[in-house]
Amino acid sequence: MNDLRTTIAYFAGPAQKAYNSGMRQSKLFSKTRREAPSDEVAKNAQLLIRAGYIHKEMAGVYSYLPLGLRTLNNIAAIIRAEMNALGGQELFMTALQDKEVWSRTDRWDDEKVDIWFKTSFKSGGETGLAITHEEPLTRIMSEHVSSYRDLPVLAYQFQTKFRNELRAKSGVMRGKEFLMKDLYSFAKNDEEHKAVYSKVRDAYKRIFAKMGIGDKTFVTFASGGLFSQFSEEFQTLSDAGEDVIYVDEEKKLAVNKEVYTDENLAKLGLSKDVLTEQKAIEVGNIFSLGTRFSSQLGLTYTTETGAKEPVVMGSYGIGPTRLLGVIVELLADEKGLVWPEHISPYEYHIVSVNQDEDIVKTADELYDDMVRNGIEVLYDDRQVSAGQKFAESDLLGITRRIVVGRDAVATDMFEVVDRATGAITKVARAELTR
Ligand code: ATP
Ligand code: MG
């Protein structure tokens, strides 16, 4: 239990950039490997394991090693910035769930929700590991929200969720334990709710664009929403996806399988003639909840005229660990991982080509200067061949590689190789260290 709490607290910790900006690879405990475990079928997990980003504990259960955690935290930082810009207030709820509150909304029974991990207390009574957090947060809000002056409220967290998922062929895209950013909105009425909802929708679009998957991610109508009967999923096209969606490329919209009926398409103004069937993976989901939870759990407020009304709610999820996997599926190449700039675990990967004294001295100095200036840099200072270093550097996928060879010593100009494109530029030391 202790370890679990530490992991959860760390994910949620505010001190995102509290690490050292630099790391010598000779000290990095994680090593790369040639082969992924034979039982791992997902490309994302195979590559992340080979590169030493994650460890596979069991089917569908992964640990995040230092490089993986840095990458995950960069993904979380992009999301957090957008949530804060919306006026979202970050909190951190317990993973242990109270049977009582979930019974009141009829979501405790295994016949209603079949993915719970449940256990019992020594002192008696059951508990379950969090699958989502509508119930506990609605109850929390009922102790803090009482007047129209208290609304609207947006509250969010980064929290570990546990779901007893049956399928485990998608690597980190479908974990039994995974990180979720879950935002919940509380509004006075439908009109206020709709305004919040549409702002979150826009924020989600910006988030996926910043992650480098914007052009492949489609707002997709799904069942279960409150207004016009639909909720909206953000679906990213990928052959590794488990969902099938029908895409209107021009309108940048799609519908999922449940919604793909003549009646719904007519309602949405979409035409079967232009829709193409594609495989996709859900990276986010936004939901109007209406007053379902607030009515059942007694979350009401007093209006300006003194009447009591239930609060109108929404919930909005994104899976950072799933996103990590999706980005690998979409961007990795035959040599290994390829990270978008803002997600790469380090900004630069310094590779010295051999152990000659002047080369080591030049590389050491460059590394020290960059670290002093807060630039995030991994330095391959190991005594192995240049060929091995380059191959491993490709596998790790850090955005830019700085090669320190004889040329650099002579000219103080460094070859910088872009991992995604292979483009090479010559850059002066002063520019790299500022
Ligand atoms: P799916 O249909 O793919 O199982 P879901 O509808 O169960 O997804 P939500 O309950 O809406 O997903 O959860 C919000 C977000 O959390 C999802 O959009 C996804 O990004 C992420 N997520 C859900 N389940 C998992 C999982 N098992 N592993 C990793 N991320 C997940
Ligand atoms: Mg699910």
Secondary structure of 404-415 as H, E, C letters: ECHHHHHHCEEE
Q: Is residue 393 part of a domain?
A: yes
DSSP 8-state secondary structure symbol assigned to residue 195: H
CATH number at residue 92: 3.30.930.10
Q: Are residues 301 and 403 in the same domain?
A: no
* pTM across the whole model: 0.94
Q: Is residue 202 part of a domain?
A: yes
Q: Please give the full DSSP string across 94-126, using - where no structure is assigned.
A: -SEEEHHHHHHTT--STTT-TT-EEEE-TTS-E
Q: Please identify, among 331, 360, 391, the residue that sits at the C-terminal boundary of a domain.
A: 331
Q: Whose CA is nearest to atom 2 of ligand 1?
A: 282
Q: Are residues 114 and 258 in the same domain?
A: yes
Which residue, among 290, 285, 332, 337, has the nearest Cα to 313 in the 3D structure? Answer: 290
Q: Is residue 14 part of a domain?
A: no
DSSP 8-state secondary structure symbol assigned to residue 34: S
Q: Are residues 100 and 180 in the same domain?
A: yes
Q: Are residues 377 and 323 in the same domain?
A: no
Instruction: Name beta bridge partners: 244.
Output: 279
Q: Is residue 18 part of a domain?
A: no
Which residue, among 421, 259, 219, has the nearest Cα to 340 in the 3D structure? Answer: 421
In this prediction, residues 41-45 reach a mean pLDDT of 97
In contact, 48 and 337? CB cutoff 8 Å: yes
Atom of ligand 1 nearest to the CA of 180: 16
Residue 10 pLDDT greater than 80, yes or no: no
How sure is the predictor about 309, in pLDDT bands with cuts at 50, 70 and 90?
Answer: very high
Place of tokens 């569908």: 60
* Rg of the chain in Å (alpha carbons): 24
What is the per-residue pLDDT across 285-297, written as a single tens digit (0 to 9) for each? 999 999 999 999 9
**Among the bound ligands, the one closest to the CA of 281:** 1
Q: Are residues 152 and 274 in the same domain?
A: yes
Ligand 1 center from residue 163 Cα (angstroms): 9
Residue 319 pLDDT greater than 90, yes or no: yes
pLDDT of residue 12: 43
Q: Are residues 279 and 366 in the same domain?
A: no
How sure is the predictor about 168, in pLDDT bands with cuts at 50, 70 and 90?
Answer: confident
Ligand 1 center from residue 281 Cα (angstroms): 9
Q: Whose CA is nearest to atom 12 of ligand 1?
A: 285
How sure is the predictor about 16, in pLDDT bands with cuts at 50, 70 and 90?
Answer: very low
Ligand 2 center from residue 176 Cα (angstroms): 10
Q: Are residues 71 and 161 in the same domain?
A: yes
Chain-wide mean pLDDT for the chain? 94
Q: Beta strand pairing status for 300-302 and 243-248?
A: unpaired
Instruction: Look at phi and psi of residue 99 and say left if phi exceeds 0, alpha if psi is from -120 to 50, else beta.
Output: alpha
pLDDT of residue 434: 85
What φ, ψ does residue 57 adopt, rounded to 5°? -85, -45
Q: What angle do CA 301, 304, 309 make, to 5 degrees?
A: 30
What is the per-residue pLDDT across 376-411, written as a single tens digit (0 to 9) for each? 999 999 999 999 999 999 999 999 999 999 999 999
Give residues with Cβ within 8 angstroms of 261, minimum separation 6: none
pLDDT of residue 9: 41
Range of the domain at 278: 31-331
CATH number at residue 429: 3.40.50.800
CA 433 – CA 367 distance, rounded (Å): 9
Atom of ligand 1 nearest to the CA of 283: 20
Atom of ligand 1 nearest to the CA of 182: 14
Residue 7 pLDDT greater than 60, yes or no: no
In this prediction, residues 184-188 reach a mean pLDDT of 98
Q: From residue 292, how far is each of 16, 115, 135, 192, 297 by CA, in Å?
A: 36, 21, 11, 17, 9
Both structure tokens of 411: 């000219």
Q: Is residue 154 part of a domain?
A: yes
Which residue, among 383, 430, 378, 426, has the nearest Cα to 52 in the 3D structure? Answer: 378
pLDDT of residue 397: 98
One-letter amino acid for residue 430 of the chain: A
Q: Please give the full DSSP string across 319-385, using - where no structure is assigned.
A: -HHHHHHHHHHHH-BTTB----TTTSSSSEEEEE----HHHHHHHHHHHHHHHHTT--EEEE--SS-
How sure is the predictor about 19, in pLDDT bands with cuts at 50, 70 and 90?
Answer: low
What is the per-residue pLDDT across 112-156, written as a single tens digit (0 to 9) for each? 999 999 999 999 999 999 999 999 999 999 999 999 999 999 999
Handedness of CA 19, 24, 28, 30 (dihedral sign): positive
In this prediction, residues 309-329 reach a mean pLDDT of 98
Ligand 2 center from residue 133 Cα (angstroms): 14
Ligand 1 center from residue 321 Cα (angstroms): 10
Q: Are residues 53 and 192 in the same domain?
A: yes
Q: Are residues 176 and 235 in the same domain?
A: yes
How sure is the predictor about 251, in pLDDT bands with cuts at 50, 70 and 90?
Answer: very high
Q: Please identify, among 304, 331, 358, the residue that sits at the C-terminal boundary of a domain.
A: 331
More confident residue, 330 or 11: 330
Place of tokens 């330095």: 379
How sure is the predictor about 224, in pLDDT bands with cuts at 50, 70 and 90?
Answer: confident
pLDDT of residue 229: 81
Place of tokens 């989600």: 204
How sure is the predictor about 227, in pLDDT bands with cuts at 50, 70 and 90?
Answer: low
Task: Provide residues with CB under 6 Å of ligand 1.
Answer: 132, 163, 165, 174-175, 178, 180, 282-285, 317-319, 321-322
CA 347 – CA 259 distance, rounded (Å): 42
Q: Is residue 12 part of a domain?
A: no
Count of structural domains within the chain: 2
